[in-house]
Structure 1
Amino acid sequence: MNTHINAGLRLDNVPISKFHRRLALLVGLGMFFDSFDNTLSAGVLASMLPTGFSTLELNSLFLSVTFAGLAIGAAFAGWLSDRVGRSFAFQFSLALFGILALCAALAPSMQVLIALRGVMSVGMGAEYVICWGMITEFIPSRHRGRYLALLGVFAGLGVSLSSLLGWVVIPAWSWRGMFVIGGLGSLIAWWLRRGMPESPRWLESRGRYEQAEAILQRIERESGVASQVVAPTPVAHQADEKAEWVPITVLFSRSVIRRTLMALFLTVTCLIGSYAVTGWMPTFFVKQGMTVSKSLGFNAAIMSGYVAGPLLIMFITDRIGRRRSIMMLGTLSAIFAGIYPFTREPALIIAVGFILVAMAASFLIMCSGTAPEFFPTAFRFRGSGFAQTVGRVSLIFSPFVVLWLFTHYGIVGVILAVSGMYIAVTLLYGVVRVDTSREALEQIIPGGDTDDAPRGPSAVHEMQREVDASPGPSLSG
């Protein structure tokens, strides 16, 4: 006889405590160095050309390998997290790109650096997926929006500091210094979070009830509540029984496919939109007649929206709910993307561009952080990892699409296409109304996750039809 510990409900019922704040800080450090290492390419590659260490062709290959590694890492993170555990995958991905960043600093040739970057990017892509998932699994749902936005602030700071340090470090210590900073910082973060507990939700889904109960009691003690927030109920499990492994094909089953597609559409749109807005901004300025130096100055001012946007969202998303936040941010991104090509005055260019970047960055954060909530614990990381993988693959091809639009229709064509994407996915999300409540997630788990969960596909489909007919999700989810 064992106990069914009801991890999800108990984790959602505890108040925010030092445990949650410490976890958010440690997860945020991983996101910070992930963003730092992902962003250092621009300064590093530019500095290699005058020295002859690299060429334009090799620089392009470096970027392509990075995109490919990020996509592979996203898929790898989903499988490893659901199969082996969140904690192991979390630490493994950070150690992977931290160690390889230090190796990259010693690369004797550009070819070796490209090979190291490819494997390093697998760890970066995995870390990105796992960070969002860890917030979803540990932070109570009523506070989750704020902590997702906080994670976005860490990412924005990583992007900003990478650019700033590159300006100082590369002239003094060459491009190798950037990899040393990223690698050492990542390994320090790895050491600080070595004691981070495994997710009780995952432990429960795998039948490891005693371990899950011990971690839950620790969290409840640190949160100042008794362990009987949700009274454990006996269930007839053998001590060594493991919950059934759910195959990846569940993502395309009748009861889950709508969630999979919605997560995919949100992720692809937020990644391509953010890339098109931020990656092409200096080019747009130059085409409007600015000098390169003035373009970069405008770009630096506007890119500060990457931090300001998430800071603002921290204070409103839990008030209006994550679904409404995503719809609001998608709408505002579409509006300001539509206005931006027609601004000419420098003050307006900075103001509109700043708001556009802030909205696009916030939309990216909320979509990336909300996607894991679409799936139950048994395949949560594979669901969000699949969406991230498709999104990262789309980034490989998006520069060619952007370039084609830019060549044939100019700045207006690119920005209005991005605006149209934001409008389309926002309307779709408003119509689909995916329910992310715990009860709805339990109903789509094959075989059930609780004693009263549906058994067999017919029962699952019947309960899913009831969900489809419901008035919609709770705004807190």
Structure 2
Amino acid sequence: MSAAIGVDAGARLDRLPFCAFHRRIILLIGTGMFLDACDIYMAPGVLSALIKSGWSDLATNATFLSATFIGMLIGTISSGLIGDRLGRRFSYQFNLLIFGGASVAAAFAPNMAVLIGLRFLMGIGMGAEIVIGYSTLSEFMPRAVRGRTVAILSALTNTAVVATGFGGLWIIPTFGWQYMFGIVGVAALLVWVMRKNMPESPRWLESRGRASEADALLRAIEAEAAKKGALPPVEPGTAAVIDTGRFSELFGPDLIRSTILGTIVGIVGSISLYGFLSWVPTFLVKQGLSLNSSLASTALMGLGAPLGGLLAAMLADRTGRIKTLVTLTLLQGVLGVLYVYTQTQLELVAVGFGLTLCAYALVALGFGLYIPELFPTRLRLRGVSVANSIGRLAGAGIQFVIVALFTNFGVTAVAAFLVGALLVQAIALVVLGRETQSRALEDIEVMPASTAPAEVGRRLHA
């Protein structure tokens, strides 16, 4: 491997003021991720409707969710390989086409077997979108606003929880669950057309030795940013490395901490979002609530999703990454305990709202921002895809664990499972984490992994 000469993509991007170019990138990435999230978060309402109508049962719903996660696992792995090899832009467009087309087809599924098969295809596209979106945005944004903009992207993405919650409350009883898939699929294909002119990441181009392409793109970005005034000088920083990266490096001494921590965050995130929150509407229906009451409660809880992203945006560049992540993890654990003791629908909605708020703030700060920061550009998508794919694999198996726990021991056992997982995550963040706030991505690449525990200890007690 060798250092890049004369391009300095990271330093040139980091010095830029936030401008129309950055807003455009957030919009292009955000619209795709919003629709991707709609495809994911429509599942609770759709599945509860399928049970109520007799189309499905708990075991078949678990198969539906597992097919989703297996598809997402494949999409996650393939997007990491393709995105690091062929570029962020190519991989991004390919996955959007897959899940958009499969969603349209799902609206016409004649039975659960076909719907599950199409959901598997949707999962491939959905898994890829999440990996590429956050990582690509991190590579474009100046370091001074990287945390805020990634959290804003998460907030925009997770308005899908509200959109599918309240949209499903009207669409599913009025028109049927099929329209949920059809609307999202058509919109995704329209965004695919809009994103055809999205630029490639200059950092990725530089890491592949394509200096002239990176420089031409950087000049165009700088010209647009300069409309707001003279640009500050380029600060000297760590030179980018020209190297394709080897997958085995993720398990070597420099990156093994990041890989383990990312994997834990991926698994716990799957337990939190898909092993608990996604099952809440079904739990409520099985406990005797009407479909409309269940959907309404879920929609109100879902308001916590975009607000969690906004909370993350306020905290991202002000408090340390580790301190904030540990605090939110422990707070979610406390709320998980309180959930067991809720007795009225109002209490359930209030605690569920808090759980959703914490869960999605952790998605924004943990998976969206922190984990991509831990991996070098040449391996970023593969590192994130390993963490996410293992999380997805766990998510597929967890569905059957949740059914067994709920059937035999009730919602208390499910909540205890969540709380235990959150405690593991908090410990892992303290032991394995390293602080990345306000650092250039290129500087983070060369931070010694061995300094992590001591540094985190200082940050937590600061």
TM-score normalised by length of structure 2: 0.86
- Shift in Å at residue 116 of structure 1? 3.1
Query: Which letter does structure 2 place at the counterpart of 1:230?
Result: V
SS for the counterpart of 1:62 is helix
Taking the aligned partners of 1:214 and 1:229, their CA distance within structure 2 comes to 18
User: Which residue number in structure 2 is paired with residue 100 of structure 1?
Assistant: 102
User: Which residue number in structure 1 is paired with residue 394 of structure 2?
Assistant: 394
User: Which residue number in structure 2 is paired with residue 239 of structure 1?
Assistant: none
Closer, same or farther: CA 222–311 of 1 in aligned 2, 3 Å = same
User: Which residue number in structure 2 is paired with residue 427 of structure 1?
Assistant: 427
Query: Which letter does structure 1 place at the counterpart of 2:415?
Result: I
The reply on whether 1:471 has 2:455 as its aligned counterpart is yes
Taking the aligned partners of 1:287 and 1:59, their CA distance within structure 2 comes to 13
User: Which residue number in structure 2 is paired with residue 147 of structure 1?
Assistant: 149
- Shift in Å at residue 389 of structure 1? 0.4
Aligned partner (choices 227, 234, 242) of residue 230 of structure 1 = 234
Summarize deviations over 1:282-336 as a string: whole Å, max 9, x none.
Answer: 4555687766654443333222212222223222322113333212211211122
Taking the aligned partners of 2:283 and 2:110, their CA distance within structure 1 comes to 36
Closer, same or farther: CA 319–227 of 1 in aligned 2, 3 Å = closer
Taking the aligned partners of 2:339 and 2:147, their CA distance within structure 1 comes to 28
User: Which residue number in structure 1 is paired with residue 69 of structure 2?
Assistant: 67
Closer, same or farther: CA 114–413 of 1 in aligned 2, 3 Å = closer
The reply on whether 1:127 has 2:111 as its aligned counterpart is no
- Shift in Å at residue 104 of structure 1? 3.2
Closer, same or farther: CA 347–182 of 1 in aligned 2, 3 Å = closer
The answer to whether the 8 Å contact 1:203/1:209 transfers is: yes
The answer to whether the 8 Å contact 1:35/1:159 transfers is: yes
- Shift in Å at residue 210 of structure 1? 0.9
User: Which residue number in structure 2 is paired with residue 443 of structure 1?
Assistant: 446
The reply on whether 1:27 has 2:29 as its aligned counterpart is yes
The answer to whether the 8 Å contact 1:251/1:260 transfers is: yes
Taking the aligned partners of 2:128 and 2:147, their CA distance within structure 1 comes to 22
Aligned partner (choices 177, 183, 190) of residue 185 of structure 2 = 183
The reply on whether 1:266 has 2:265 as its aligned counterpart is yes
Closer, same or farther: CA 105–250 of 1 in aligned 2, 3 Å = same
- Shift in Å at residue 427 of structure 1? 2.6
Bigger Cα Rg: 1
Query: Which letter does structure 2 place at the counterpart of 1:118?
Result: F
- Shift in Å at residue 367 of structure 1? 1.4
- Shift in Å at residue 388 of structure 1? 0.6
- Shift in Å at residue 111 of structure 1? 4.0
- Shift in Å at residue 209 of structure 1? 0.5
1:149-168 superposed matches below 5 A: 149-168=151-170
Query: Which letter does structure 1 place at the counterpart of 2:233?
Result: V
Query: Which letter does structure 2 place at the counterpart of 1:223?
Result: A
Query: Which letter does structure 2 place at the counterpart of 1:140?
Result: P
Taking the aligned partners of 1:291 and 1:169, their CA distance within structure 2 comes to 16
User: Which residue number in structure 2 is paired with residue 456 of structure 1?
Assistant: none
The answer to whether the 8 Å contact 1:271/1:364 transfers is: no
* Fraction of identical pairs, as percent: 37
The answer to whether the 8 Å contact 2:336/2:415 transfers is: yes
Taking the aligned partners of 1:106 and 1:287, their CA distance within structure 2 comes to 27
User: Which residue number in structure 2 is paired with residue 354 of structure 1?
Assistant: 353
Closer, same or farther: CA 349–97 of 1 in aligned 2, 3 Å = closer
- Shift in Å at residue 163 of structure 1? 3.4
SS for the counterpart of 1:245 is coil
Deviates more, 1:12-21 or 1:323-332: 323-332
The reply on whether 1:371 has 2:371 as its aligned counterpart is yes
Query: Which letter does structure 2 place at the counterpart of 1:471?
Result: E
Closer, same or farther: CA 344–179 of 1 in aligned 2, 3 Å = closer
1:296-311 superposed matches below 5 A: 296-311=295-310
Deviates more, 1:68-77 or 1:147-156: 147-156
The answer to whether the 8 Å contact 2:431/2:453 transfers is: no
The answer to whether the 8 Å contact 2:435/2:455 transfers is: no
Closer, same or farther: CA 400–106 of 1 in aligned 2, 3 Å = closer
User: Which residue number in structure 2 is paired with residue 449 of structure 1?
Assistant: none
The answer to whether the 8 Å contact 2:73/2:389 transfers is: yes
- Structure 1 spans left out of the alignment, 5+ residues: 236-241, 445-462
SS for the counterpart of 1:229 is coil
TM-score normalised by length of structure 1: 0.84
Summarize deviations over 1:52-99 as a string: whole Å, max 9, x none.
Answer: 877877655433322210111011110010000001111111122112
1:99-118 superposed matches below 5 A: 99-107=101-109, 110-118=112-120
Aligned CA RMSD, in angstroms, stands at 3.2
User: Which residue number in structure 2 is paired with residue 238 of structure 1?
Assistant: none
The answer to whether the 8 Å contact 1:264/1:387 transfers is: yes
The answer to whether the 8 Å contact 1:78/1:382 transfers is: yes
Q: How many residues align?
A: 449
- Shift in Å at residue 402 of structure 1? 2.6
User: Which residue number in structure 2 is paired with residue 450 of structure 1?
Assistant: none
**Higher relative contact order by CA 8 Å / sep ≥ 6: 1 or 2?**
2
Taking the aligned partners of 2:117 and 2:416, their CA distance within structure 1 comes to 37
Deviates more, 1:276-285 or 1:143-152: 276-285
User: Which residue number in structure 1 is paired with residue 92 of structure 2?
Assistant: 90
Taking the aligned partners of 1:56 and 1:316, their CA distance within structure 2 comes to 39
Query: Which letter does structure 2 place at the counterpart of 1:362?
Result: A
Deviates more, 1:42-51 or 1:159-168: 42-51
Closer, same or farther: CA 347–318 of 1 in aligned 2, 3 Å = same
Query: Which letter does structure 2 place at the counterpart of 1:148?
Result: V
Summarize deviations over 1:403-450 as a string: whole Å, max 9, x none.
Answer: 344355543332233123222212321232325444554438xxxxxx
SS for the counterpart of 1:371 is helix
Closer, same or farther: CA 306–442 of 1 in aligned 2, 3 Å = closer
Closer, same or farther: CA 245–37 of 1 in aligned 2, 3 Å = same
- Shift in Å at residue 382 of structure 1? 0.4
- Structure 2 spans left out of the alignment, 5+ residues: none
SS for the counterpart of 1:197 is coil
Taking the aligned partners of 1:28 and 1:139, their CA distance within structure 2 comes to 14
SS for the counterpart of 1:142 is coil
Summarize deviations over 1:129-164 as a string: whole Å, max 9, x none.
Answer: 111111211112221222222222223222322233
